[in-house]
Structures are given as C-alpha cells and as structure tokens.
Structure 1
Amino acid sequence: MSIRVAPTRAARALSLLRTVQYTHPPSCPCHSNPGHHHHDTPSLIKQARRSLATPIDSSQQKEYAFEMAASSIRFGLGCTKEVGMDLKNMGAKRVMVVTDSTVKKLDAMRQVVQGLEAERIAFEVFDGVRVEPKDSSVKVAIAAAKAHQPDAFLAVGGGSVIDTAKLMNLYTCFPDADFLDFVNAPLGKGLPITRGLKPLIAVPTTAGTGSETTGTAIFDLVSKRAKTGIAHRNLKPTLGICDPLNTRTMPSAVHASSGLDVLCHSLESWTAIPYYERVPRPTNPINRPAYQGANPISDIFSLQALRSTVKYLPRAVKDPDDFEAQHQMLLAATLAGVGFGNAGVHLCHGMSYPISGQNPGYKHPGYDVDGPLIPHGVSVAVTAPAVFKFTGASNPERHLAAVEAFGVDISQVKKESAGEVLSEALAAFLVKLGDQPRGLKALGFGKEHLAGLVEGTIPQARVLMLAPTLETQHLETEREQLTKLFEDAMEY
C-alpha cells in the first residue's frame, strides 16, 4: 500500500489539505474533534504555498508529503496452513525457513512444514535466531542464507525471528554490501535499499512487535553498546500471516512484554511530531524515511491499537486461556505496526536501545534464555511514565486523548496537566499488570550509569528527531534533557 500526498499547484494543494483535515471517519476522535488534532490546516496551507516557491535552503525545508507502506496482511484463525500455497503462487522453489530453537518445536512450525511439503516446495530450516539478536548472530544467519541461496524466505516466530529474516533477505540480495552500509546513521551509512528483495512471508508467534507489517529490523550493535537497525520500505515482508492460534503458546511474561511494546508503539506514534514538521524534506522520494511523523492515516491505526491494548492486555496476561484477549492483542500489534511503521516511534524506543545494550545483569522472569535479558517491551515501557510527562506540553490534546483510552475522566483536567495525568495513568496500568520493574533502578541501573545511557541514546537520531519537545538541534541541551529523563525513569 502506498499513498502519496504531494501538491503541485496552489489550488490543488489547498483543496487536498482541507480534505485531509475534514474527511476522516467520525469514529476517530482526533479527526471528529479539531481540538484533538495537531495537523492544523492553516499551518499546512502556509507550508503548501511555501513548497511552490523556489527553495532557498533545502536542508531546512520541512516535509510536505507522507507515504503509507505496509505489508499485505492476512488475519484469521488457522490461516497458517495456506503458507505453502502462497509460496507456490509466488513461484518459490527453494525456500529458507527462519525460526528459533523454541518456535521450531511449536505447532506453527508443524503447520508451515506441512504446507510446504504439500506443495512439494524444497526448503531448509535455519533455527539459529537469537532472542534480541546481536550483530554477530545476524551475521551468522546471513552467512547461512548466502550459502543456501533461497528464492524466498519464510519467518516463523517473534520480532527477533522476523527482523533477522529481513536482514538475511537484504544481504543475500546485496551480497557485496558491507554490513554497515544500510544500518541507520550515524552508527551506519544509512544507504537506501534501491531495489526490491526476494519474497518474504512472516508468520508472527507473538503479539507485540508488528514486524510483519514494517520495513524495520532491529539488533544489538555490540561494539557501540546500543541497539540500532535498518529501516526502509523495501525491507518489509511481502505478506504477514497473522494467525491467533500461533500466539496461544506464549508464556504470561512474553504476553506482557510483547503487549508493552504495542502500548508504546501506539503511544509514541500517536504523539510523534506531525509529518509536516520534519526536516529536511527529501530531495528524492527514495530517501523519504520510513518513520515520517504522525499523519492522519497512521493516527487511526495507532489510537485503535492503544485502546485495544489497554482493554485486552491485562486479560491476556492474567488468563492464558482467554483466547478473545489473545486474538485482539495480535490484531492490536498489527494495527500498531502499520501506525508506527509509517509515523515512527520516539523517546521510549530511543532510550530503550541503550537500556538493553548496557544491561547491568538483569534477567527478566519468565524467559527461558541463558544470561541476562531485558525484553524489548520491558525496556521501552520502563521509561514511559517519565517520557509522556515530558512530552505532554507539546500537544496536550493528544495526550489527553491517550489518557481517555486508559478510562480516566478528563473533563476536569487542565491542559497543562496532560503529561502528568498520562504519566500517572501509565504507571497505574503497569503496576496493575504485575511483575513489571518499576523503573530503571529495578533493572540494576544507578546514577553511575546515566552518562552511558545518555550517550547510547543520542545516536538514535531517526527516532529522536520525531520526539516532541526534545532539542535535537542543540547537543548540550539534548544531553541535559535526556539525563533528566533517565533520572525521572529511575522509579515510578
């Protein structure tokens, strides 16, 4: 799916911008109530007029268009069994199935293997994916893919598996590329992916990352002690098969962590700066980033995902037999994936990468892995109360709309209190969910770690640039703000 909104003449631009503001479904409060929307028409009209003039400094030109890109999605109980037919329809004859040692034993893999064998498609299984992958484990996977030379990929597992499969696909199609060529700047060169890749079908077995919809792949860059990744539309799967039967095997701890990722995906994309405030405007559309800022289409997906997560995540964590809640959380994860996959995330994710990469030794209960582990959902949620208290002033209406999703009466809440009230609602939700570390201190971090966490966050430019109220243009101010945020995230 690709939608481009780009004015060419003044009259067309003004008409289009008015349409964007006023013709969205009334069920979305940010569009039915102009006060809930930060894509105000006058600002857009002024920018559209400026875009028609001769540019003076392209590096300072604000964006004027947004694109929506997402994988094709099939959602339904039992639809995993169709995957063999899908690959045959794509013309695949030599498939690499990507999974991990745990998922390899589950029914989802049994369904996949049966489907491939029924269509007589040759395949090889790579089950060496690491949970929360490191660059070293990704390179091992890439080497396996290059040796096999598949004509299609099939990922069966959580976000770690799907992200690893994306990278295997990329570097098999660009065999001479250096590993850092496509990695997000400034840690890598951030080169665009200039052509399409081989078919990739993603079958998620967790309800969290939304990786089946996005062109993003995340991993630990060990030498920099931070998470980073690659983000480009051409990286997204060809098809995501979302079968709620496949998430029924998740332990309660995995339900919780995965769901917290959905929570932050939706909140961050909902509160990101609007797309038309992002600079610079790309000189070529191939350079338009996957993470563009909030826009009227991503808003619809993000807000619905937030509401569903607040309603169904506690149920999914509490009762492993609550299949309705599990079904709805998989749908929420996919909706949030479409939302943040185009709007982007900001501070919770930017700060989470060094939290995971600089883990002082914490191992989250409920995960069967060797060694320390801070699950991704835990690393993003632990800073959320501090983050949204900080961003509240940027757009009180948006933050109050989020508060409403938590079931809080906002009729008497003043706009200047929006961030604080959302912070309190988030903290109460996390505490009620149970077994969540209440701040960085519970993960083993102390004041002595602050400088390292800040320095590990600053390179996450592609997400920090979307953070409202963060002074990314002034390094010392940004460093001070991030230090204060990490201090505030020590306990809630």
Structure 2
Amino acid sequence: MQLSSPEVPESVFTYSAPKLKFGPGAIAEIGHDVAALGARSVLVITDPQLVTTGHPERVAQALRSAGLRVEVHDSAAVEPSDASLATAVERAKGVAPVDAVVAVGGGSSIDTAKAVSLLLSNAGELMDYVNAPVGGGRAPQHPVLPVIAVPTTTGTGSESTTICVLDVLAAKVKTGISHERLRPVLAVVDPDLTATQPPGVTAAAGMDILCHALESWTARPYTSYEHKTPEQRVPYCGANPIADMYSERAMRLLAGAFRSAVAGDEDARTDMALAATFAGMGFGNAGVHVPHANAYPVAGRVHDLGSDFRPDGYGASEAMVPHGMAVASTAPAAFAMTFEANPQRHLSAAAWLDPQGLDAAVPEPDRLSAVLRRLMRDIGQPSGLAEIGYTDADVDGIVSGTMQQQRLLATAPREVTEEDIAGVIRASMHHW
C-alpha cells in the first residue's frame, strides 16, 4: 500500500550529530575532551563483562589524568530492561553530584548512560519518558547531563542517536525513549577497543550497522510528510540528502569489510567502526523502519518461548536475541515487502553490498533479500526465526508488538498493515 500524498509537503529536513573523535588510540585524549566540556566529576557506566577487558579502567585513568573525579559503575545490563535501567539510575543517585556521564561499551552501556543522564536531571520515573503507547511519552523539561559515548562494539550507532532502547518486561516488548536531548555530545570511536569483540558479537552488531544503513536509505523521503512546524519536528525526518550520503558510504564499507571483520582482520575492524559511525549519522536523522520495528518484539518475547537459544559471544545465562540479530532476523522478507515503494533504491543497495554481482541474476524484487541471506549465512546468523525458537503460533504476538512501534513504522517507505507484518514474520521462519 503506497503512502498518500500530503496536502502540503514538507520542504525542510534537519540534521544533527555529536562531536566525533575517531581513530586508533583516541581514548587516550578523552580526559582533555571531557574537561573541555566543563566537567569536573564524571560517572563512567559500563557492564560487568567489559570490566574484565580493562577498557573502562583505561578510560577512567585517562579522565583522572586530566584532574577529573571519576567513579566507575558496572551497572549496564546486556539488552537493558526497564528494571535494569531503574537499578542503574538508583545506583547513580547514590554518587555525589556529577557533571557528565561517560559510557564505555556497546549500545547497552550507552543506552544505560542516556537513561541515567535523563533521570539525574529530570523529575519522574523511567516509564514516564518511554515512547507512547507503551509509556508516557514525556519529553525532558530540563537539559540532561552530557553523555560522552565510547563504543567498544561496531554496530549499534547509539553514540550518534537520540534513542535509548529497552525491554519493557511486563509488556513483553522492546521499545525506547527518543528525544534530541539524549544524543551524546561527543563520540570517541577507537577501533582498538573492538579487538576484544568476539566474532559472534561482530556478526550480530554488524547486521545492526547494515540495517541502519539500509533502512535509512530506503526510508520514506522527508518530502513525503506533511509540512511541520518547528516544535512538531522529530529527530527521524525521513530519507534526505545528507543521511543518504552517510548510509551509502556505510554500505560500501560493509561490502568490503564485514566478512573479514568477523574472521578477525584488524584493518576490517577499523572499516567496520567507521561504517557504524556513518550509519549512525544516517539513521540517526532519517530513521529506521520495518526490520527494527519487528526486532523489538522478536527480542522482547524470546524469554517466554522456553527456548534455549544462546548466541555465540554474549555469555548469556538465559535465552536472548542480540539487538542486531533480532533486526536481521526479518530483514530479507521486510525488504522484499518494501521493494515496490522504491525499486531503484533497493537495487542500488543490493549492488553496493554485492559488488561482485553474485546475486545479479536474481529477479529484481528479491535481489536485495538474496544478498542479505547470503551474507547472513556466511557470518553465521540464525537460519530464521524458527532456529531461535519461534513458530507460527507466535506470529500474532510478534505482529502485535511490531504494531506498537508506530514511531518506526511511520518511517517505512509504504504504509504497513498487520497483514504485511504477519507475512514478513512467516516468511522469516526459514531463510534457507
């Protein structure tokens, strides 16, 4: 179903990004950078598993060398929930007043830092700020504490975005908090920190990069929306020339680096870190759509399946689906469904991701899907939702969870119905 034409089309798009420092060894300069923000007391947020790598303490020492007071909390949980974020916030409230929050880790640590920053500076409870209809959808009334993001995985792009993603346990759905004030003020991207990233994490997180770029590139154009007033504009404004540039560059980098990075190639890790940054700059403004909307219930409902699915590299003590893996799980079918909305964009993306033309003979509507399936199989992603533990009996529940993600579905290049999503979920049970 195509989008209806607006009576008064939008003529304005916006673009925002954090200040960026990129390159091997970049974290050695973080003390200078954070002190320059005017901070004197800093809370470093990371997760217990990452503490064992020594990266958080290296960051803390670099901050202390600039004369800053530093406390390190390992309060981030892998795939944060409303419960884990509330615990992290309460723990942070026990610290003397801080001027800035530094996140060291993947998207889980960065999103935890965003929640802590928000609730140390604004009244209310976490669920007050979670996107409607799951939560209250409240906007922060006051500036939040500055967040400085130090990603140690190549994937989430959370260092570039306005979004804090979480599982709402009672609702059995993954959703988020989204507001411009949550965007980090500085991203310090040091590819050396990804050397400890296991291959399974590189693969899953890399699929998140890829879907960020693909969904941003294929998002509905900003001109397809109704014209908005300044106060109505949201960070996700649709495909636009600047986001397009970053998304294309991310896909071209991924085409040459992804498989090699999973295999452990050092130069490829640097390209993956740069691709993650570029993709974040793209989707952090254009937006994402169907695969990400599906990912929230796919990840959120796995706890109730009785599944013993444990992804490689995550050290999970219970069934879980990493965010990037959840996004990728329905991507081939989702892009087949959106193809007719903009065939040329789908075909261009397929060509960039498959420069050797291995899938060039596949019929056009299925070509991008074929490229994705080949890549997913090469890097060891699940063969479909069935491998995770889902069955046809779970389709309605996933559809219900997806349809709650209207903030994301509004960015899709065509109108999306429950029937559309059900078809995508059923087609994603088995990719090969």
TM (normalized to structure 2)? 0.93
Determine whether 1:420 maps to 2:366. yes
Q: Who is 2:426 aligned against?
A: 487
1:63-212 superposed matches below 5 A: 63-148=10-95, 149-174=97-122, 176-212=123-159
Q: Who is 2:378 aligned against?
A: 432
What fraction of aligned residue pairs are identical, expressed as a percent? 40
Structure 1 residues 117-138: Cα deviation after superposition (integer angstroms, max 9, x where no partner): 2122112111021000010000
CA distance in 2, matches of 1:370, 1:410: 39
Q: Who is 2:201 aligned against?
A: 254
Give the one of 240, 255, 259 matched to 1:310. Answer: 255
Secondary structure of the 1:123 match is: strand
Determine whether 1:326 maps to 2:274. no
CA distance in 1, matches of 2:143, 2:212: 26
Q: Who is 1:350 aligned against?
A: 293
1:412 Cα deviation from its structure 2 partner: 7.9
CA distance in 2, matches of 1:412, 1:74: 38
1:101 Cα deviation from its structure 2 partner: 0.6
1:388 Cα deviation from its structure 2 partner: 0.8
CA distance in 2, matches of 1:163, 1:282: 28
Tell which structure's C-alpha radius of gyration is larger. 1
CA distance in 2, matches of 1:241, 1:338: 14
Secondary structure of the 1:154 match is: strand
Secondary structure of the 1:218 match is: strand
- Would the aligned equivalents of 1:255 and 1:316 in 2 still touch at CA under 8 Å? yes
Residue segments in structure 1 that go unaligned for 5+ positions in a row: 1-42, 48-59, 472-477
1:142 Cα deviation from its structure 2 partner: 1.1
Structure 1 residues 243-271: Cα deviation after superposition (integer angstroms, max 9, x where no partner): 01111110110111110100111111100
1:241 Cα deviation from its structure 2 partner: 0.2
Give the one of 452, 457, 464 matched to 2:409. Answer: 464
- Would the aligned equivalents of 2:174 and 2:300 in 1 still touch at CA under 8 Å? yes
Determine whether 1:366 maps to 2:313. yes
1:193 Cα deviation from its structure 2 partner: 3.2
1:140 Cα deviation from its structure 2 partner: 0.7
Aligned Cα root-mean-square deviation (Å): 2.0
1:481 Cα deviation from its structure 2 partner: 1.2
- Would the aligned equivalents of 1:73 and 1:213 in 2 still touch at CA under 8 Å? no
1:105 Cα deviation from its structure 2 partner: 2.4
Structure 1 residues 357-395: Cα deviation after superposition (integer angstroms, max 9, x where no partner): 111222212221211111111111111110111111110
Q: Who is 1:50 aligned against?
A: none
1:411 Cα deviation from its structure 2 partner: 12
1:230 Cα deviation from its structure 2 partner: 1.0
Secondary structure of the 1:228 match is: strand
- Would the aligned equivalents of 2:359 and 2:371 in 1 still touch at CA under 8 Å? no
Counterpart residue identity of residue 460, structure 1: Q
Structure 1 residues 279-301: Cα deviation after superposition (integer angstroms, max 9, x where no partner): 4x444x24311111111110000
Instruction: Count how many residue pairs are aligned between Structure 1 and Structure 2.
Output: 422
Task: Report which stretch shifted further, 399-408 or 261-270.
Answer: 399-408
- Would the aligned equivalents of 2:10 and 2:224 in 1 still touch at CA under 8 Å? yes
Secondary structure of the 1:164 match is: helix
Structure 1 residues 446-481: Cα deviation after superposition (integer angstroms, max 9, x where no partner): 01101101001101001111112333xxxxxx1111
TM (normalized to structure 1)? 0.82
Structure 1 residues 9-37: Cα deviation after superposition (integer angstroms, max 9, x where no partner): xxxxxxxxxxxxxxxxxxxxxxxxxxxxx
Q: Who is 1:228 aligned against?
A: 175
